[in-house]
Amino acid sequence: MPDRLPEPVYDEGEIVRKVSATKAYVSFKGRLWKVPKAFCGERLAIRPLDRDGHYGVFFAAHHIATINLTNKQSVSDVPEQVSVISPG
């Protein structure tokens, strides 16, 4: 197992955000959104989902979190989705 995974390559034109090395949040549409701590320091893609106002947060092809712009919820309430590369 490598010490660090290779950096994912995203398509040109995709919305890509880098997660802070110390805080597990990405900035999108003027708000901060929580992502799993395992992705601190990583680049993530934000892609629209099949419902208006819903976006998926992806590490390469893995859906790791969901952003719901239709709710006025605080950053701590953003649901996370467990994937094979997330702890827990």
Give the rounded percent of residues in the chain with a pLDDT score beyond 70. Answer: 82
* Contact residues for 55 (Cβ-Cβ < 8 A; gap 6+): 28, 46, 47, 48, 49, 66, 67, 69
| Predicted local confidence at residue 86, as pLDDT | 45
pLDDT band with cut points at 50, 70 and 90 for residue 73: low
Eight-state DSSP code of residue 80: B
DSSP per position, the chain: --SSPPPP---TT-EEEEPPSSS-EEEETTEEEE--GGGTT-EEEEEE-SSTTEEEEEETTEEEEEEETTS---GGG--B---TTS--
Q: How confident is the model at residue 76 (pLDDT cuts 50, 70, 90)?
A: very low
Please state the pTM of the whole predicted model.
0.77
Across 11-33, average pLDDT:
94
